[in-house]
Structure formats: structure tokens, C-alpha cells
């Protein structure tokens, strides 16, 4: 029987926005078609984006999805 792995998804959006020349939440939100409040909730870990929105975020930041979002197992 396989063991169940628990964890959470963390993101690196804030750091990547800064590295992209100081892109604001508003700038990124507009580019991906969501409100700044929605992006703020995603960035703050309060809301998990749809897969489509996650790919749009990664594309606008010029990074692969796995560099923007990371699964962290509990106990690590």
C-alpha cells in the first residue's frame, strides 16, 4: 500500500517579480488577466491558482512552472 504524502505548494512569485525588473503585482495581474487582489492572494499563499493561471504566471516571469511553484512535503 502506497503511503500518503502531505504537503503544500509554495511560490516564488515575489522574488521573481523583483528579479524581472521590479514588476509590480498590478503589472503581472494585468498581463495574466486577473485582479491585483487575486494575484496578491496567490502570492501570499491564501489561494491556489488554476493550472492555466499558474502557467500564465510562469510564462510572464520567463520561468518554468517548477521554478515558480514548488511542492514541499510535510516534515522536510
**What is the residue extent of each domain of the chain?**
10-66
Fold of 10-66: 434 Repressor (Amino-terminal Domain) (1.10.260)
Model confidence pLDDT, tens digit, residues 37-55: 999 999 999 999 999 999 9
Mean pLDDT, the chain, integer: 93
Residue 2 has pLDDT above 60, yes or no: no
- pLDDT value at residue 17: 97
Residue of 18, 22, 10 lying closest to 54 (CA atoms): 10
Quick check: 58 and 65 in contact, CB under 8 A? yes
Residue of 66, 47, 45, 65 lying closest to 56 (CA atoms): 65
Query: 10 has which bridge partners?
Result: 70
- pLDDT value at residue 60: 97
Amino acid at each position: 500500500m502506497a503511503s500518503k504524502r502531505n504537503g503544500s505548494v509554495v511560490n516564488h512569485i515575489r522574488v521573481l517579480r523583483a528579479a524581472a525588473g521590479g514588476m509590480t503585482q498590478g503589472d503581472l495581474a494585468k498581463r495574466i488577466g486577473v485582479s491585483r487582489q487575486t494575484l496578491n492572494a496567490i502570492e501570499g499563499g491564501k489561494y491556489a491558482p488554476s493550472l492555466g493561471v499558474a502557467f500564465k504566471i510562469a510564462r510572464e516571469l520567463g520561468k518554468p512552472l517548477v521554478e515558480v511553484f514548488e511542492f514541499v512535503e510535510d516534515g522536510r
